[in-house]
Structure 1
């Protein structure tokens, strides 16, 4: 067998470069070009109305069979509307949006995935994202919800600033959403310096705002309160006009002083008259009490003296005296008896009243003692109940704190588990999207590869037909052709006929790095086997040999390499070895053809 070297270039090199170029162009087309377009301006909707959140694929493409997701990142779960395999996944969406969201089904074939949101609520305000997992495209839409019943501002006089003599104006407006701002303007439209705006958010999520400002006399004395919300382009205002005489009246510093002195003097006079009246009334009561006691004392003394006179004189003398007196003056005697009997009856009556009062007093004292005893018992019972209640309250607080700690711990665990589950779901979706993309790209690559193989077979067939025209008069010979780029310094120096090694040589005077370079070996037009250099610097004028993994030889040098996992490719009728640089450019090609004549 004889080896013959020829300088003809291999016809498969342009085909290989063309295949690589077509694959790169298809890959670039698959990875770029489309985008999701939402709205660059915020969308404003009125409470209770329907609104459309725009989102479309550009350039347009039919997305009927693709997965479409609308989400709000600040919610949990974040899904607003999910369509997969032509069906809406109601179980994944947030409860706020159930039966309130829909897509335009007839527009999906044109790439329109806009979301219709019905019966808008104040809680719907936020940032929404439309996403197509298969396309890895994302777009955002900002939604503001405006109240449908904003009240006009109301301006009132809140008082007077004593330090400056200015008028304090108060302005308020309610039923706003989103939260507005309050501005004060004078008659010329200049902003006035006002206090901080007070904002109250009600249970219906609507805002009530109020503001105060102190104004002094100006040219027009007209002042405007303006309430506005820039995000929804909504403004309302009210104006008040204050007369000049009102500022003149307030500017007089003597008026408040005179009024203050007058009020103080009137109060002092009323207090003095009240004290004098109380003093006189009390003194009169004391005088009446003393008189009553003096009369009772005199009556008692008269009664005692009368009793003593009766005990001293005999009864006969007394009767004689009475008889004589009665005989001398019958009218005087009768009057004296009556006068004597009246004090005695009065004393007796008073004595009985005193005894009754003493009895009532004792009874009251007894009842008071009982009430005090009962009160003390009730106080003791109340204290015991309070102590017991305090202990129970302390125990309840401890139990409440323990339950809260347990609830927080369990809630934290649930949130952590939920976050883990959500993360796993996201990873699973990402993995599914990647697998789908990989399958699509693999299918496209297979189609491209099939087309390239067909083209390659066609060219190889043409090459065989051209090679058949070579003279068959030679007996047994081996042809070797080599093609080297003019700028290349690396050549295929030798190919083992048995397929055990390949020999490369650096012809230049400088070292050549081979990291990322590849060697393609094709035997008898079969599928090429590829070897890629990880890292190698081939020194100037030196050679390197790449051995098959099953070639057992003892003549290997320290610079030789072993083709891991690749056994000897064996002898063949035609062996083509092509070297490509790290950028994919063909560097050199060498072909060995063995032919046997008759």
Structure 2
């Protein structure tokens, strides 16, 4: 029995050893596996930590570079801001100088325009005085010639020898070359032939015959017809207002001796304050220099003893008119019938 017990004990111990070895082997295997897993996990975590550290280092370096770049940009921006501020100050100074120069130019231009207007008025006054003096001289020369002719006729009739006076006697003008001066309301004058009248066998004529033009004008706007030449050379417009006026598609109509001439402005024609526009006949010989000097291509303004000029807008409304009517004025009346000189010469 003891032997059996011992065999059973050896068998039990053998099985126990096998189970222990199996358990030990399984435990070792599991331990090794866990160790490998832990090692692998550690390595992975370590790698991840290293990568994270590298990325952090890169981020730190990038942040440092960005901070440096920001600092540089802030420094450059500060320089630009100071430069911009300086430029703004310079712009303000230039604008102030420009305003001063503009105001000074406006004052100078106004002074120049005023001076030009004063000089123009002085020139017009001197021209009018000169014209009046010249007309008076011509009138006096004509009267002196007339009296000289009367004296020569009386001397011839009475057989009185001519005595030399302070100046040489003037030659007697022929009937076909007798001229006097006509004038318009604006002061322009021109010579015309004197009319000769035959009353009977005696020769009667007017020594001084003058043609003057009575002119009336009207305007419903700031543009006026300042002048129209009664010989049909030109018509002049002026803007006496303070605003620019568009006269596109407007027209000038002039009528004289049943003849009408129409000139139409182009669509973009304007007149600024103080502007003048002179429209010349095609045969005037003037040069076409728009916008102030315009020459018609194939038309002439009509001429006559009664000239009416109208300025009409694009709708046909009459905006301004000017009308000139000729009037004859007679001066010295002379008879060639041998009467007494005092009776043969009279002023009408």
> TM-score, length-normalised on structure 1?
0.20
Structure that is richer in helix per residue: 2
